[in-house]
Amino acid sequence: MNFVFAKGAAALLVSAVLLTSCKKDKDAVAGGGSTESIIGSYKLESVIVKDGGDAFDLLQSMAPCLKDDVATFGADKKYIHTDAGLKCVPAGHYESTWELKPGNKIVIDGEEMTLVSSANGKLVLREYDDVPVENQYVEITYKKQ
């Protein structure tokens, strides 16, 4: 995996967040969480880039203004990324939509990711490169606020 892909994929994923639990609601999907369990606000905890056998936490080298941003999933399927705390230049605030899909998939602003796990207030999402290579991905962990 080249570093340019890793940074680009991580930047896309940094704004993507969700949290699921075992409880189901009328909008539950096969193999995953429910719309109700995703609703809320989250902050980034780690951005692990794995290239085959090697892995590193990209969060350590990200700009400080990205580390304190808040991602909010609304009941109305609106996704809001707030440039909180230390402001980036230009500001990183934007709004889009989100959708929960079957098979532990979530789509945020047209980008599909896989829900790896959600437990103890932590959410782990993973995005694979367009051309799959064994053990090559970006994995992002968020913490519910």
With a cut of 60, say whether residue 15 has pLDDT above it: no
Two structure tokens written together for 49: 């880039």
More confident residue, 30 or 132: 132
Query: How much is the average pLDDT of 104-124?
Result: 82
User: What 8-state DSSP symbol labels residue 31?
Assistant: T
- Residue ranges covered by each domain of the chain: 3-144
Q: Of the ranges 33-37, 54-58, 63-67, 68-72, which one carries the lowest mean pLDDT score?
A: 33-37
CA angle 129, 21, 48 (to 5 degrees): 30
With a cut of 70, say whether residue 112 has pLDDT above it: yes
Q: Is CATH 3.30.70 correct for 3-144?
A: no
- The reported pTM is 0.70
